[in-house]
Structure 1
């Protein structure tokens, strides 16, 4: 076995995040080092394997590797010299020993004693020792935790102290357990804005502060900390305990749906939990989430349990899973308490299972709607009607109040009618009118089918009574409602009503109302010519108070016919009429439609568009679908006008409003636009979060657009996941045969990887991108990605493959089109410069000098001064090495 293989495997492992894949590579490296008989190399690999086990979610395995490396070091410190690493790993060994109830607590104390001895002998501060004595004391609920905390804070920090993020995190956890929330915040606050490079930060301190934020009135900070920290934790099995804290946070802040989503994502991790303690904490928090979900009225739901250990995936009833998890957490707590000789872990589990909501509902983002409290209808005023005992007079009062849109007054009159009717028998006409009124009440309450039943019977009774006017009034309402309910047969009733009332107007406004209702129905059925014909029958002077509605319907019909300018003119007349009507809310419908027309013109939205939308929103102070539509339109108009920062607030409000109304399809579509707005303003985190909310409900072009936004947001945050997202977009493009898109997305993926120093992986992606550029007929992309693949191979330590890859890049230069000389010279100079660097590294200095000189000449030809100077310096360095 070659030790070169060991170094190559270790180098590859460094490109991977902690987890199973990285651990497997380090284990393989250890086997090869042992097979090669290199004890020192095996020792160093074993030290790295301890970290891989710990951060990869297998702390139990770290006991063996740590114990062996410590023993080897003690046997021959000069030969096995990783003193600092081993002293650092002792801290993790102490805390890990507490996480398994089958390990006697004495072992943790023994390691603490050994740790203190070694730290003193090496001249280190005991600050870290006091820290981990506090950890053990807090684990068992021992009162000495306060004493160790004070010593910990007072001791001087040194290079074995936990990092500037982890140290205050531990202190904050101590203070949180003691209920000292403001003190915890004061300790953590100074580092919250620091750039923390530790593997565990800043997500650990953000998670530790969740209860602090909640109990000190900092709800927005709590929501932000939850979303940012969980985003990191969710990919790490080792962080299962932290994920449990996020589950509890969701359960106590009214975010049961989010908690259920997290539970479902990680439920399968219980089968490979990093420790019994993490298992216990996750199980307890998950049970709490399920309890909250049931309390919210979803106790009949089923939870998908992933397949594991030979068990097939299955849906488990929520109550059954809740009981299982609660019992699992309690049983584990009993084992810890038996080992520890205290009830502390059991007390913590019981507190979690019984946790009550904290701080009310905490919206996790601007577009998350705070649940509206259950509305309690105000008492219907009846005092002014108690003296009215005449049923006819009450019916006339109903008609007057209905005409005035006084719904409360109308209901009060009906209640009085019903009370009087208990002692005074209504006449048949009065019964029919009361039944018609019940239909109105059902319609106002949103009970369409109840209204239909009442109006059908009322129309029948009016027919029997020979009251054709009232019958056709009722038929018109009945037909319109049937259409709203999806019953196209209602159109015939609307037509009959309008025909009769136009020929026999009856009371003032009957004919106008019927014809407007008919025009509305024709617009609904996309029959604009019939709608315009119905509107032409209306005598404007007969309905001055309905001019706004008339012109609005005319505008809709004209728009259906394709007459955009004519429609806009009609809508402007409707808006003018609405403005003079004394009812500002009537501006909303025509104003919103006109704004949509203006926003979709080729030149895009203008100032009139925004002024109209401002007016519409101002006219609708309360929640409504139309207000949600107006915010949607204004947000999209801001996006179209390249004002994404202005779009954010409107899109967030629209999503919140649609979600509150149960219109999830509209909310999902707008989330993609909101994500785009966030991305355009550099708010990558928010863009990624919103895109991920939308993705599960999208497919096709919308899904691809959403993933593209997500990929760029992930890239902006420096997340490795961006490479995978770009790669998935490349797979989609490949299925469609779009080689240019495949090449672009693979190029992006490679760029992400090389920015993260994942050079071996980046080289593979650049090579794949080059193949696609070749298929797409893009010679420039081909040269560039072959060259970058070569450089990534070079940076990953594989100079031989890098030289071969660079040769392919040089060969591709021949395919550059001759009609663009500057581009050809630029690409050739870049290849020459990078090729010189690789050749110089492998000792082929004469060739390197020649390529460096050629690069300098090419850059100089293009007047690229900085690049030419850099190439000249490289050439001089190579010439110096030659001499």
Structure 2
């Protein structure tokens, strides 16, 4: 028994330091179960008080209501044994009372009399506990607002303004959020925004704020033509709300925002991501109503944008059938939109029947009116995939051509997807071609057992087509002819090929060509010259047989052999010749274009390579090859990124990532590229959202710590660029932990250094220096990363120097020694500049000036006049600052010499030098120098 009590105490401690979420909910459930097992109602009360708060934060209304009722009954029976406040944050019975009426109001299953009784019960308990009326008034205000009794809500709001706040008033964040929502609903947009901005600027927050309040400000911002502020509010709100199912209303507000601002693809992505939340909390019907109207708004917008046939992934889940009804196959956007609106209408009718009002009918009407509004606020996180220009093949002939094109590109999985449409609908000759494609695709995908089972069907088809020699060959060698050939198989095939050269041999040219091509592909890596000879032999044989399709395969093998032999120019010549062929099938053309794109990329011809990848993408879109198109789009994105055209890269990456998400693949890697490109193009908020999503994907799939660390590092940088210093600080710390786990001290230290820089930015110098000292200790173990060692030690030295700590100079010496050993001349100059600043901060003027001028000379030697001028300006200002104006003149003139091609620096130096000369009484010189600032 004692052991169980100790275990429960430890569980409470763990619960209290664990963030809200599934893991914390599991811990609370364990605590309740253990307390019940012990039969100790006092401990169970402490566990259930925590459970009420946990269920509220997790959107588990049924559990919250039952837990609260149990606790209230115990408290009312014995307040001394079961106190209202167990001194544990939200585990305060009087505070939890606030959640009850709104929870009952949120479901039409509860009658108005029940809601009124809870509010009256809350008021009587507050009076008995000696608490002020503010908390009860706010609860009544929320109820009146939610029920549509707007006049009553306005009167309660006015009373709240004159009612003193007390310990059980709503917190600053929640109070502002509730009133802001009321103002937004009643057309007082400026007042709503003022309250939300006060919350954000004041740093007010609680469990679900400011994300909920920010979502309430979206429409007011739009109606006041403040689109950029609306965008920033949406991105922050969604980023904070996207993992909490209790914030279904905030998510619905974000979906609606995307739908009416021209971001239909993003709206659809959010719908797909959060549809499962409809089934999360059966009693949150108010949230369901808002979500269904948002889904209807979003999918109508998707259809209006020309993408009504786009599937809505996840909408056919069993848990959503009670909202949408049964449906055959996948819902499309156009199909689901009216069903979502109808579901909202049904729910609204139940609410209005309960309340005896038309409140929800009016809300639904307003939602439909808002759905027709349009504002242009582009967000670049998501994009639709372009529909294929070609329709689905209408007959077996069309499917046959499609299969040839897709297999010609080399898309094994997509070839297998197409074959069932056609393989049993064609004559034996064509079926023989298709069965060969099927075996090749299965072997390519390493589905060898399936291929082996289908080999007899292939041989029967060959014989039916009259190709007996090929059938005999495949009976003898089996799958070796499709990519599984061993050394023994290759040797036997080579012997057979040599024998078939005899004029008396009976093997037809196409079969001999197949043997030669099989051997060629097997030798490309080890003996490319022999492979080239065999590929050319195969090409000649296929030409004799009149088999152009296999001839293109032989030509591709020849190109690969030339490239493997480093005969790039010869390979390129054959590529150009192949692409010039007007009869070249689209799949082979796309494959050849991709190959040329990669070659061009390797040569640094990024723009030309990207154009090739774009053309390959166009062809693959025509063929409906979605997996292949995804790969081509990611290649195009990479080449445009290398061409330093981030906007072009982003457009391709977004399409590629969407396709990967739809067809299955490495979604995290694809979205990482999108996020990285967004960050480089200045879209830090969108990048932060995507990096966060990638990190979650990686954590769910147990990606190694080192990879997760890099994603966390990029997320932190995105937060920092977006001005979210607090979040960046936390994520830099997480990245450092992961780098430590991955035994990567260099990047671990750099992450800690970034954390220290944020501390310094927020005026926490002691913590900043302590963090840098920790980073320095770690980075010294990274013997193979001198750049990281230099950067961290240099930063620590600069921090010491700013504090007049003489330890700075030993670090500068160490950094300069490492830089010299690695021929890093610019770093040496930079360290000398830092040394000068530290000396000047310590009032060691002569030494500091000398160091600054030495740094200036060193920067000049490495061709950095901007930094050279900056160091000389540092010396000049130092001399002038201690009254040595005459000496400062020479230093200022050195700045002017360095700044001849740097107008801003030249202007600053000329103006300052003019002041110095005027102070020395040298008016003419001063005027002459000042004229330089005007040039």
The alignment status of 1:246 with 2:251, answered yes or no, reads yes
Aligned partner of 2:650 among 640, 643, 648? 648
Q: Does the CA-based 8 Å contact 1:494-1:517 persist in structure 2?
A: no
Structure 1 residue aligned with 2:693 = 693
Structure 1 residue aligned with 2:600 = 598
Aligned partner of 1:710 among 684, 707, 715? 715
Q: Does the CA-based 8 Å contact 2:736-2:751 persist in structure 1?
A: yes
Give the CA deviation at 1:674.
2.4
Q: Does the CA-based 8 Å contact 1:435-1:454 persist in structure 2?
A: no
Tell me: CA distance 1:162–1:478, structure 2 relative to 1, closer, same or farther (3 Å): same
Aligned partner of 1:754 among 748, 753, 760? 760
Deviations 1:79-137 (A, max 9, x none): xxxxxxxxxxxxx9996795698995248779999xxxx99xxxxxx9x9998864241
Give the CA deviation at 1:555.
0.8
Aligned partner of 1:564 among 558, 562, 568? 568
Q: Which moved more, 1:695-704 or 1:776-785?
A: 776-785
Tell me: CA distance 1:402–1:788, structure 2 relative to 1, closer, same or farther (3 Å): closer
**Secondary structure of the equivalent of 1:621?**
helix
Tell me: CA distance 1:106–1:588, structure 2 relative to 1, closer, same or farther (3 Å): same
Q: Does the CA-based 8 Å contact 1:548-1:573 persist in structure 2?
A: no
Measure, in 2, the Cα distance between the counterparts of 1:487 and 1:257. 47
Tell me: CA distance 1:867–1:704, structure 2 relative to 1, closer, same or farther (3 Å): farther
Aligned partner of 2:659 among 657, 660, 663? 657
Measure, in 1, the Cα distance between the counterparts of 2:154 and 2:505. 88
Measure, in 2, the Cα distance between the counterparts of 1:824 and 1:470. 74
**Secondary structure of the equivalent of 1:682?**
coil
Structure 2 residue aligned with 1:554 = 558
Aligned partner of 1:207 among 198, 201, 215? 215
Give the CA deviation at 1:744.
3.0
Give the CA deviation at 1:608.
3.1
Give the CA deviation at 1:751.
0.6
Give the CA deviation at 1:643.
2.4
The alignment status of 1:522 with 2:515, answered yes or no, reads no
Note the 1:33-72 alignment, pairs <5 A.
none
Q: Which moved more, 1:675-684 or 1:821-830?
A: 821-830
Measure, in 2, the Cα distance between the counterparts of 1:402 and 1:376. 15
The alignment status of 1:788 with 2:799, answered yes or no, reads yes
Q: Does the CA-based 8 Å contact 1:691-1:709 persist in structure 2?
A: yes
Measure, in 2, the Cα distance between the counterparts of 1:491 and 1:262. 57
Q: Does the CA-based 8 Å contact 2:180-2:193 persist in structure 1?
A: no
Measure, in 1, the Cα distance between the counterparts of 2:601 and 2:744. 32
Aligned partner of 1:138 among 142, 145, 152? 145
Aligned partner of 1:105 among 94, 98, 119? 119
Structure 2 residue aligned with 1:799 = none
Give the CA deviation at 1:656.
1.7
Measure, in 1, the Cα distance between the counterparts of 2:850 and 2:465. 104
Measure, in 1, the Cα distance between the counterparts of 2:199 and 2:750. 32
Tell me: CA distance 1:476–1:704, structure 2 relative to 1, closer, same or farther (3 Å): farther
Note the 1:870-881 alignment, pairs <5 A.
none
What is the alpha-carbon root mean square deviation over aligned residues? 7.3
Q: Does the CA-based 8 Å contact 2:634-2:653 persist in structure 1?
A: yes
**Secondary structure of the equivalent of 2:770?**
helix
Aligned partner of 1:229 among 224, 234, 237? 237
Tell me: CA distance 1:230–1:403, structure 2 relative to 1, closer, same or farther (3 Å): closer
Q: Does the CA-based 8 Å contact 1:707-1:729 persist in structure 2?
A: yes
The alignment status of 1:680 with 2:680, answered yes or no, reads yes
Tell me: CA distance 1:174–1:734, structure 2 relative to 1, closer, same or farther (3 Å): closer
Measure, in 2, the Cα distance between the counterparts of 1:558 and 1:734. 45
The gaps in structure 1 that reach 5 residues or longer are 1-16, 21-52, 61-91, 120-125, 271-275, 301-336, 383-396, 418-431, 792-801, 836-849, 877-883
Measure, in 1, the Cα distance between the counterparts of 2:178 and 2:580. 65
Q: Does the CA-based 8 Å contact 1:130-1:149 persist in structure 2?
A: no
Give the CA deviation at 1:241.
4.2
How many aligned positions are there? 650
Tell me: CA distance 1:446–1:575, structure 2 relative to 1, closer, same or farther (3 Å): same
Q: Does the CA-based 8 Å contact 2:685-2:718 persist in structure 1?
A: yes
Note the 1:440-839 alignment, pairs <5 A.
453=453, 456-457=456-457, 459=459, 468-469=468-469, 471=471, 479=479, 483=483, 510-511=510-511, 514=514, 518=518, 522=522, 528=528, 531-537=531-537, 538-539=539-540, 542=544, 543=546, 545-546=548-549, 548-577=552-581, 580-581=582-583, 583-601=585-603, 604-622=604-622, 623-624=624-625, 625-662=627-664, 664-665=665-666, 667-695=667-695, 696=698, 697=701, 698-699=703-704, 702-719=707-724, 720-731=726-737, 741-772=747-778, 782=793, 784-785=795-796, 788=799, 806=805, 808-809=807-808, 826-828=833-835, 830-831=837-838
Structure 2 residue aligned with 1:387 = none
Measure, in 2, the Cα distance between the counterparts of 1:474 and 1:813. 73
Give the CA deviation at 1:873.
7.1
Give the CA deviation at 1:645.
2.6
**Secondary structure of the equivalent of 1:715?**
helix
Q: Does the CA-based 8 Å contact 2:607-2:639 persist in structure 1?
A: no
Tell me: CA distance 1:416–1:557, structure 2 relative to 1, closer, same or farther (3 Å): closer
Structure 2 residue aligned with 1:74 = none
Tell me: CA distance 1:558–1:717, structure 2 relative to 1, closer, same or farther (3 Å): same
Structure 2 residue aligned with 1:328 = none
Give the CA deviation at 1:745.
2.7
Tell me: CA distance 1:512–1:147, structure 2 relative to 1, closer, same or farther (3 Å): farther
Measure, in 2, the Cα distance between the counterparts of 1:211 and 1:565. 60
Deviations 1:309-333 (A, max 9, x none): xxxxxxxxxxxxxxxxxxxxxxxxx
Deviations 1:616-645 (A, max 9, x none): 223333342332222111111122222223
Give the CA deviation at 1:723.
2.7
The gaps in structure 2 that reach 5 residues or longer are 1-16, 21-52, 59-63, 65-94, 105-114, 257-266, 296-311, 321-350, 372-377, 408-414, 857-870, 885-935
**Secondary structure of the equivalent of 1:642?**
coil
Measure, in 2, the Cα distance between the counterparts of 1:435 and 1:489. 30
Measure, in 1, the Cα distance between the counterparts of 2:283 and 2:421. 61
Give the CA deviation at 1:435.
8.5
Q: Does the CA-based 8 Å contact 1:628-1:658 persist in structure 2?
A: yes
Q: Structure 2 length normalisation: TM-score?
A: 0.51
Q: Structure 1 length normalisation: TM-score?
A: 0.53
Tell me: CA distance 1:671–1:824, structure 2 relative to 1, closer, same or farther (3 Å): closer
Measure, in 2, the Cα distance between the counterparts of 1:518 and 1:557. 13
Q: Does the CA-based 8 Å contact 2:589-2:616 persist in structure 1?
A: yes
Give the CA deviation at 1:824.
6.8
**Secondary structure of the equivalent of 2:201?**
coil
Measure, in 1, the Cα distance between the counterparts of 2:458 and 2:597. 41
Structure 1 residue aligned with 2:26 = none
Note the 1:1-80 alignment, pairs <5 A.
none
Measure, in 2, the Cα distance between the counterparts of 1:411 and 1:816. 68
Note the 1:10-409 alignment, pairs <5 A.
105-106=119-120, 134-139=141-146, 141=147, 144-149=149-154, 170=178, 173-174=181-182, 196-198=200-202, 199=204, 203-208=211-216, 228-233=236-241, 241-242=246-247, 245-246=250-251, 258-259=273-274, 296-297=316-317, 366-367=381-382
Measure, in 2, the Cα distance between the counterparts of 1:398 and 1:741. 53
Give the CA deviation at 1:593.
0.7
Deviations 1:25-62 (A, max 9, x none): xxxxxxxxxxxxxxxxxxxxxxxxxxxx99x989x9xx
Measure, in 1, the Cα distance between the counterparts of 2:674 and 2:586. 30
Tell me: CA distance 1:479–1:108, structure 2 relative to 1, closer, same or farther (3 Å): same
Measure, in 1, the Cα distance between the counterparts of 2:158 and 2:516. 78
